[in-house]
């Protein structure tokens, strides 16, 4: 094995470890928020009981509205049927929400997947991170990410769409140009390599102020 190959293998192993660490940290942060909300549950009940004792219905209504808003920030809204996909999507949803980026998700995985959890983490993690990066360049009111995941026959279909600041992005070779350097570009190459290894299909399209990535993976 050449020195170049060994360096690439070390870089790949480091990238995968850092990517997984990042996603797991996001998942842990989400569940930490949930545990914190549950811990405060008793205090919330006592507060509303105090308002009820005073027949202060207006304060109860306002407090319930505040609780509803607070709970929405930690609610696990995506349940695909696949635990790893749920973990990745919900952690990224929490991250996007914290950056004022609306996300619409329609995701269903009714069968056991043959794709490894590491590969799935790399693909979905990179697509979501890229969509978040592009969305942050837009005014808050123009941000939007759409995620669609489902089975098409015997293949897993993954689609990410986000609005962009430009009408059409510039391509460099087979990839669209990224504003980030370093491991960001390496992440896109990793996604391409995984899809190629799994004999899947990949399409990237940039037009009309939107960027879409579509993937089909045999199962």
161 strand-pairing partners: 146, 212
| Residue 201 located in a structural domain | yes
| Residue 27 located in a structural domain | no
- Helical spans, DSSP H, in 40-82: 41-53, 57-72
| Residue 159 located in a structural domain | yes
Residue 67 has pLDDT above 80, yes or no: no
| Residue 28 located in a structural domain | no
13 φ/ψ angles, rounded to the nearest 5 degrees: -65, -40
Residue 100 has pLDDT above 50, yes or no: yes
**pLDDT band, very low/low/confident/very high, at 65 (cuts 50, 70, 90):** confident
| Residue 98 located in a structural domain | yes
Q: Which helix (H) or strand (E) holds 79?
A: none
Nearest to 72 by CA among 88, 93, 58: 93
- Tally the domains of the chain: 1
| Residue 86 located in a structural domain | yes
**pLDDT band, very low/low/confident/very high, at 81 (cuts 50, 70, 90):** confident
CATH code (residue 171): 3.30.565.10
Q: Which domain holds residue 147?
A: 77-218
Maximum CA extent, the chain: 78
75 φ/ψ angles, rounded to the nearest 5 degrees: -70, 135
Nearest to 174 by CA among 160, 157, 193, 159: 193
The pLDDT value given to residue 86: 85
Local structure of 99: helix, strand or coil: coil
**pLDDT band, very low/low/confident/very high, at 15 (cuts 50, 70, 90):** low
Is 0.85 surpassed by the pTM of this model? no
Residue 64 has pLDDT above 70, yes or no: yes
The pLDDT value given to residue 22: 63
The rounded distance, in Å, linking the Cα atoms of 71 and 210 is: 31
The mean pLDDT value for 100-129 works out to 90
Residue 167 has pLDDT above 90, yes or no: no
**3-class secondary structure per residue, 14-47:** HHHHHHHHHHHHHHHHHHHHHHHHHHCHHHHHHH
Which among 18-32, 84-98, 159-173 has the top mean pLDDT? 84-98
Q: Going along the chain, which residue ranges are E strands? A: 103-107, 145-152, 155-163, 171-172, 175-176, 201-207, 210-218
| Residue 30 located in a structural domain | no
| Residue 4 located in a structural domain | no
């Amino acid at each position: 094995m050449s020195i170049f190959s060994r360096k690439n293998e070390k870089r790949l192993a480091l990238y995968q470890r850092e990517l997984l660490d990042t996603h797991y940290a996001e998942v842990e942060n989400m569940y930490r928020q949930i545990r914190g909300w549950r811990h405060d549950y008793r205090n919330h009940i006592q507060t509303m009981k105090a308002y009820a004792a005073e027949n202060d219905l207006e304060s109860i209504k306002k407090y319930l509205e505040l609780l509803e808003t607070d709970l929405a920030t930690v609610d696990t809204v995506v349940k695909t049927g696949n635990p790893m996909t749920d973990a990745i999507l919900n952690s990224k949803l929490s991250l996007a929400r914290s950056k004022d980026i609306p996300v619409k998700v329609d995701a269903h995985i009714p069968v056991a997947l043959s794709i490894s959890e590491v590969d799935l983490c790399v693909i979905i993690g990179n697509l979501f991170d890229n969509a978040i990066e592009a969305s942050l360049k837009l005014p808050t009111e123009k941000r939007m990410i759409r995620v669609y995941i489902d089975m098409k026959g015997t293949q897993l279909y993954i689609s990410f769409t986000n609005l962009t600041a430009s009408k059409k992005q510039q391509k460099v070779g087979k990839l669209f140009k990224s504003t980030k350097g370093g491991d960001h570009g390496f992440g896109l190459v990793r996604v391409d390599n995984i899809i190629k290894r799994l004999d899947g299909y990949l399409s990237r399209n940039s037009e009309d102020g939107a960027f879409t990535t579509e993937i089909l993976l045999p199962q």
